[in-house]
Amino acid sequence: MSPRTPVEDMQLRAAALRGDEAAWTALVEASFDVVWATARRHVRGDRGLAEEVVQEAWMTAVKKLARFDPARGPFAAWVCGLARQHARNARRKAARAELRERPLHTELAEVVHAAAPTSSAEALARIWSALPERDQRVLRARFEEQRSIAEIAALFSASEKAIESLLARARERFRRLWIREEHR
């Protein structure tokens, strides 16, 4: 099948917006394979995630079909752009989840191992006492008590996003204090 012209895409878009299922089917069938391939490539071959990305891309295409402008490019390219956005968001979400689930004691052990001062226990005690109390509380909840981000958010009456940020800042302060301690 030869590529559709912008005029043909405009006509199919208008018909699909009026509820013409045949027009929507024509748009989808001509684009599905390239959207699938785009999703697979952008989630690095993860079939399950690619299926989610494709589904999200098509749901977005249905919701935002009126925004598709054939003068700016083919329908397939527009939906591929949606798939790329959803793939990027899925990768970011997965990275955040992985970071949230990474035990603090593992991170602290890595920092301590990398720095390896002669008296680690004493240095650790000095660093801990130099941390603000809020940092100590959030680090203790996450790494010593092994609480989830959601549990900590409830304890602190804060959003999960706020707790993730607080943990990141607390870990960074700990790391800077550790480096400073190493150069004492």
CATH number, domain at 45?
Answer: 1.10.1740.10
Mean pLDDT to the nearest integer, 161-169 = 92
Residue 4 phi/psi, 5-degree rounding, is: -75, 155
Which tens digits make up the pLDDT trace of 27-55?
999 999 999 999 999 988 788 889 999 99
Residue 132's SS3 state is coil
Residue 124 has pLDDT above 60, yes or no: yes
User: At 116, is the pLDDT very low, low, confident or very high (cuts 50, 70, 90)?
Assistant: low
Averaged pLDDT of the chain: 84
Please indicate, yes or no, whether residues 67 and 107 belong to a single structural domain of this protein: no
From 75, 100, 125, the end of a domain falls on: 100
Residue 183's SS3 state is coil
How far apart are the C-alpha atoms of 68 and 54, rounded to whole Å?
Answer: 17
Asked if 30 contacts 13 with a C-beta cutoff of 8 angstroms, the reply is no
How far apart are the C-alpha atoms of 156 and 168, rounded to whole Å?
Answer: 16
Q: What integer pLDDT is reported at residue 101 of this predicted model?
A: 62
**Number of Cβ within a 10 Å radius of residue 89:** 12
How far apart are the C-alpha atoms of 134 and 141, rounded to whole Å?
Answer: 11
Instruction: Report yes or no on 115 lying in a domain.
Output: yes
The pTM (predicted TM-score) of the whole model is 0.54
Q: What integer pLDDT is reported at residue 126 of this predicted model?
A: 82
How far apart are the C-alpha atoms of 84 and 30, rounded to whole Å?
Answer: 18
Name residue 27's amino acid: L
The candidate with the shortest Cα–Cα distance to 70, out of 133, 23, 135, 12, is: 12
Please indicate, yes or no, whether residues 106 and 91 belong to a single structural domain of this protein: no
Q: What integer pLDDT is reported at residue 85 of this predicted model?
A: 94
Instruction: Report yes or no on 58 lying in a domain.
Output: yes
Which tens digits make up the pLDDT trace of 76-115?
999 999 999 999 988 888 777 766 665 555 566 565 555 5
HSE, CB side, 13 Å, CA atoms: give it for residue 145.
13
Asked if 43 contacts 91 with a C-beta cutoff of 8 angstroms, the reply is yes
Please indicate, yes or no, whether residues 84 and 118 belong to a single structural domain of this protein: no
> What domain range includes position 67?
6-100
